Structure 1
């Protein structure tokens, strides 16, 4: 019976996918004729919300009505899942954005009936959300996609996905990433539009809020951003957290160097540590709270563009930050856990990785801080500047958000 059920489910998905693709051109013509296009941003984490400039641009444009729906993230531990929904909802409401809560009377809302979007932007293409919120249950809308990170990986799990075959427009940051994708995954490249990514608009904004604790002006501000992949057997395995966590906290507590540090963990790290045998909830909560208590430390779990742009350096082991931090032009160290991280990368991500100082332990971190950050021996600076100009600036001398709006409407540089 289970095999029959899976076969029927597969057939139904294939049938709906066929109908969706057959009516795609009709839907495109229909929404472009509308006076106002309703665009829904489906979001599960404020920390990986990357479409702020696009949302704001649509809010100011007479042809769009942007909306936000918070999604429960099914990969999180149960208590953290509901906490994440509430935190994300409050985040958008505090911004004054139109945001919908995913539950009504204890039940999940119906996207089509409650919000009736013409276009849906999903934050991630993976199936980490309740079934009724997934793209295959909302085929009455068109799908557009901005990756939650820069397109750095040429791996099957990151590019072979049914969602990418249904997306009307999938936005890329530059021609280099698009060319590499087209060479290895031609079937996933037909709906790519090179516009730049909205997060670059935020980095290029001239005004950034200073969210750092007030200390001596001579202190250098350093971010430590560990990845969540602490468990063996995953597809990433970037994390160095377990080997460095206690030493780096002890270092920042006791150092006489003029530095302050922000702990910027991946949003999934806490849930992973709750389930990890040698950590658990009590130790994890204590560890996070220690970063809030010290006079020269702080915990950062939300948006990070302002944090990055007002920092002096970063230490990390995260794939997306390998590229994103280069918007700041500041020195950055990548912590290596003994595994090769460039094998899955595309060409421009490999260039970004090469512009990192490398380290593996607390001695390497201390050397980076003393010599590169405090000592000013930043010999990679000019190469980072060239990388920024070549790969991170949006095309057509306008913002990524403007490029994306023109692409949706079929106007300007994207007229069809």
Structure 2
């Protein structure tokens, strides 16, 4: 009956009611859950106190958003920890996509030789439970409800759970509620964050306040700043300038979060690739959700989508990259993008950036996001895109000094000298 009445209410009235519901109903519930989980966490800590080895289960959904590799590797080399990866299903786009993602994710970690489990037991045709694995700590790599209840709600409500943000905090939407004040954020044990701004956001927005929020920096940035990398990630680039084109997936026309310019820029970028094929080699690095959304888009569909992706696969001066990207970034010369997290990550590669804007993109940027934009070139149309290309061909990096000042400021804000992954392990041991 209540759901029926909700449907009858005008959308504008529901929008007007939402802040009151959040303040008077939702937030008190989250605060109550937080206090309950604080007591539960103490009980769980008491249970593992004195154990010689701590079993940590990392819940992985997409290989492309695995950004805690340094933490996992350090745990492998530390006798105090027993880390294992559990590949979980991505349930948003149906069973066929779910199986494909799980298989790709499983093979990715298998090639690394990591301790590994699939959440689906094929022989018995059932989903395994965390209770069977018996973790002491569960490590989330994504805060959103994208998988089965066993590997999301059941996990953070019943185990000591940790989360390290899967991207630099560039974006802002829904008054930060989805980013800092989900039930997930208030129930989890430890949250490892990348910036001082994030600490303040948890303090002011979530119902947990500052409790359990640890400023550690970013694991992926730690990898990007390493000295070793594999140059073979660029297959046939030879002596050409190497540019990454990284479009975001938010092609839907909504008021929640819509930063993608792919529908506006996709074919002009293709024209640019053809025009400068003798001088520039491209990596097409789309968000993993973009293709699925294009397949069901009324103006795209299967044929147009496959043709577009096929161009970047088959073109003599390009390649498609949909997986790990540390070495790809480090050995590139520039990036053209409208992805939010990549803007913050690529900053630390210290190479030219062109961010593709649309009319209301700036509404979706956090304070740190605006800082990153201020040290990047920006484009609202084709002319600015080609101007950026010409600058690269002339070996001109107009934002280099400003970019390095921002990097130095960020480093000072962390106020410690050890790696992000080392700090995370130190906090867990304490």
Change (3 A) 1:252 1:41: same
SS of residue matched to 1:396: coil
Within 5 Å, give how 1:43-82 maps onto structure 2.
43-82=60-99
- Aligned CA-pair RMSD: 2.4
- Equivalent in 306, 311, 320 of residue 290 of structure 1: 311
Change (3 A) 1:187 1:346: farther
CA offsets per residue over residues 24-76 of structure 1, 9 Å max, x none?
Answer: 12322443421111111101111110010000000001100111011111123
Counterpart CA distance in 1 for 2:225 and 2:44 is 34
Q: Which runs of 5+ in 1 are unaligned?
A: 4-9, 411-416
- Structure number with higher helix proportion: 2
Post-superposition offset of 1:102: 1.6
Counterpart CA distance in 1 for 2:332 and 2:250 is 25
- Equivalent in 16, 35, 57 of residue 40 of structure 1: 57
Is 2:108 the partner of 1:108?
no
Counterpart CA distance in 1 for 2:411 and 2:336 is 21
Q: Which residue does the alignment assign to 1:414?
A: none
SS of residue matched to 2:84: strand
Change (3 A) 1:290 1:54: same
Is 2:406 the partner of 1:387?
yes
Which moves more between the two structures, 89-98 or 156-165?
A: 156-165
Change (3 A) 1:392 1:150: farther
Counterpart CA distance in 2 for 1:256 and 1:195 is 42
Post-superposition offset of 1:257: 5.2
Counterpart CA distance in 2 for 1:231 and 1:251 is 25
Post-superposition offset of 1:306: 0.9
- Equivalent in 213, 218, 222 of residue 201 of structure 1: 222
Within 5 Å, give how 1:117-136 maps onto structure 2.
117-136=135-154
- Equivalent in 234, 245, 249 of residue 212 of structure 1: 234
Q: Is the 8 A contact 1:41 1:68 kept in 2?
A: yes
Q: Which runs of 5+ in 2 are unaligned?
A: 4-25
Q: Which residue does the alignment assign to 1:269?
A: 290
Counterpart CA distance in 1 for 2:398 and 2:70 is 33
TM-score normalised by length of structure 2: 0.87
Post-superposition offset of 1:360: 2.4
Q: Which residue does the alignment assign to 1:7?
A: none
Within 5 Å, give how 1:227-376 maps onto structure 2.
227-233=248-254, 235-255=256-276, 258-341=279-362, 343-371=363-391, 373-376=392-395
TM-score normalised by length of structure 1: 0.90
Number of positions where the alignment pairs a residue of Structure 1 with one of Structure 2: 400
Counterpart CA distance in 2 for 1:215 and 1:137 is 44
Within 5 Å, give how 1:87-236 maps onto structure 2.
87-104=104-121, 105-113=124-132, 115-136=133-154, 139-154=157-172, 155-185=176-206, 187-210=208-231, 211-217=233-239, 219-233=240-254, 235-236=256-257
Q: Is the 8 A contact 1:120 1:142 kept in 2?
A: yes
